[in-house]
Amino acid sequence: MAEKIFMKGCEAVAETAIRAGCRFFAGYPITPQNDVPEYFARRMPQVNGVFIQGESEVASSNMAYGAAAAGVRSMTSSSSCGISLKSEAISWMAGARLPVVIANFQRGGPGIGTIQPAQQDYMQATHASGNGGFRMLVLSPSNLQEAVDMTWEAFELADKYSRPVLLLMDGFTGTMMEPVELPEPLSEEQVAAIRATKTWAARGKHGAPEQHKVMCGPGLDTRISQMGMNIEDDKLYKTWQTAEIDYEDYLTEDAEVIITAYGISGRIAKSAVKILREEGIKAGLIRPRKVYPFPDVAYEKLPLEKLRGIVSAEMSIPAQFATDVERVVHGRTKIVTALSSGGEVLDRATILDAARGLMK
Amino acid sequence: MMEKVYSRPAGIFEGAVTGFCPGCMHSSVCKIVCEALDELGQLDNACYVQGVGCCGLAVTYFDMDTIAAPHGRACAIASSFKRCSPETLVFTYQGDGDLAAIGLAETMSAANRGENFTVIFVNNGIYGMTGGQMAPTTLLGAKTTTTPDGRNEKEHGAPMHMCELLNQLDAPAYIARVTAADVPNARKAKAAVKKAFQYQLEGKGFSFVEFVSNCPTNWGMSPLESLDHVHNVVLKEFPLGEFRAK
């Protein structure tokens, strides 16, 4: 077993990215994720990678797009209002089918909001990270080991599907420190081999005219059908509904009350489940690890009609994650919410009170 | 047997169907770029980043790997692409709305970093693709669909001069303004484009060639009238020349 290292979330994500073969990062300063670009600035030169501090969020996300077009594992990160600025390039990555990993260390909103942790970008992350109706796989860790594992997985998935993948973090998971076990780094040969598999990447024709490649949607190129590409995307997204379902199911077998939450709130919810069990309340947890595709099956397989109800917890007011829970449950049991927002920490007591209320 | 003295330049698709309007200088600029690449033996090693606007029509012209950029972002994308593929010859192909308005930050910042790629900037003083709106480079007094009474300095500002602006920065290696409005100037333009590409191949850094172009359609002129207008009016505002050759 590898050695455990005590690391900050932002740095654990950045180090894992490098170990996963990421050789390009561009970013722009925004709290609470400044440790990400700062870490890459120090580390990239050591692995012959490229770090650029972009002149804006817009530019740095477009730089990540350009590096991906060259076949390099590429990443950018930001927080909430910065992600809004990146949505232009994210949509272009989806349109051009370029694999890029984007990390959002969520803070309060809307607008500049607060610099403290929040989960107020759920709808944006899962439904509309840019124009054009594309979807992304959205991974949301609730602790730093999971952040490490998901960062590695995000690069694998981005390449597997040749699409942008979103790591949905928050100010907590970005700035807290925990012991983590890091994966073995890919060798330079492995990194080069991954790049070499991307035969679609732009590199010049080099005597192979059939290799002429265009990185974009149709635009003004009438040889490409946008509707055809949309249909292909739709088919791909439908495969995710089975292939990419990922959630934690904890003590739900005999549960009367279900707590459901994702990311850092999922961690708070899990501790609430343990306390409720000690009180004699049969509580269980559903925690989506991927929030897109949403794990409908996790709720469908519960005896919904027999439950006392579900507590949906998140750091967003109005609730966003809860709307997906409501969509699946569709009136078959009562749903109550436990919420905070704007940088206010979700209080475990709020979740406990909501669960106890359902038992009355 | 007749000797073949002229043919489609290599690097332009065989049977390419032009999307450019009749008399538009974009076709000549595409041709000059391809001839320069061909003469440098770089056609097979070139990738270009395509801006948004009429410049986007080059996608059916240039037979080379293409990276489409969101409006204005070509210089950001060329920066990262070139750094990840330093052996590839990289150029952006951009118009004045793309490069000087929505992409001004990306243009100036890439130039200021001295990124080692080439910008081909086609300045026709108007937004052509979208139907003739005012651009940052529109001449004072010019009537466009968004300046129906003519551009006036007090309300809209004066035309922006990108070569002169870039020439304030330390990093750029090569900055030139050319035109293809007549044959002698087209020859000079090709020499400038070749020089810019050579600078890139030698790793000297950011190179920038501005073409003073025309837009017969949106200027409301015949192609020949538009070329006269370039000579008699536009070149007085945008003088030709090499601003920097490090």
Show the domains of chain A with their CATH numbers.
4-196 (3.40.50.970), 247-359 (3.40.50.920)
Segment B137-189, tens digit of pLDDT: 999 999 999 999 999 999 999 999 999 999 999 999 999 999 999 999 999 99
A63 touches chain B (CB under 8 A): yes
Residues of chain A positioned with their CB less than 8 A from the CB of B52 = 219
* Distance separating alpha carbons of residues A346 and A142, to the nearest angstrom: 14
Q: In angstroms, what separates the C-alpha of B156 from chain A's closest C-alpha?
A: 25
B167 touches chain A (CB under 8 A): no
B229 DSSP β-pair partners: none
- Best of A48, A72, A88, A205 to disrupt the B interface (most B CBs within 10 Å) is A205
Q: What is the pTM of this model?
A: 0.97
A66 touches chain B (CB under 8 A): yes
Beta strands in B96-240 (DSSP E): 118-123, 174-179, 207-212
Residues 110-129 of B with CB under 8 A from A: 113
Closest by Cβ to A204, choosing from B45, B52, B59: B45
B89 touches chain A (CB under 8 A): yes
Residue A311's identity, in one-letter code, is: V
> Computed over its alpha carbons, how large is the radius of gyration of chain A?
21
Sort strands B65-68 and A214-215 into parallel, antiparallel or unpaired: parallel
Question: How many CA atoms does the CB half-sphere of B140 hold within 13 Å?
Answer: 12
pLDDT at position A225 is: 86
Closest by Cβ to B73, choosing from A58, A213, A214: A58
pLDDT (tens place) for every residue of chain A, 360 residues total: 578 999 999 999 999 999 999 999 999 999 999 999 999 999 999 999 999 999 999 999 999 999 999 999 999 999 999 999 999 999 999 999 999 999 999 999 999 999 999 999 999 999 989 999 999 999 999 999 999 999 999 999 999 999 999 999 999 999 999 999 999 999 999 999 999 999 889 988 887 765 557 777 666 667 778 899 999 999 999 999 999 999 999 999 999 999 999 999 999 999 999 999 999 999 999 999 999 999 999 999 999 999 999 999 999 999 999 999 999 999 999 999 999 999 998 999 999 999 999 998
Q: How far is CA A58 from the centre of its chain?
A: 19
A131 touches chain B (CB under 8 A): no
Domains of chain B by range and CATH? Answer: 26-245 (3.40.50.970)
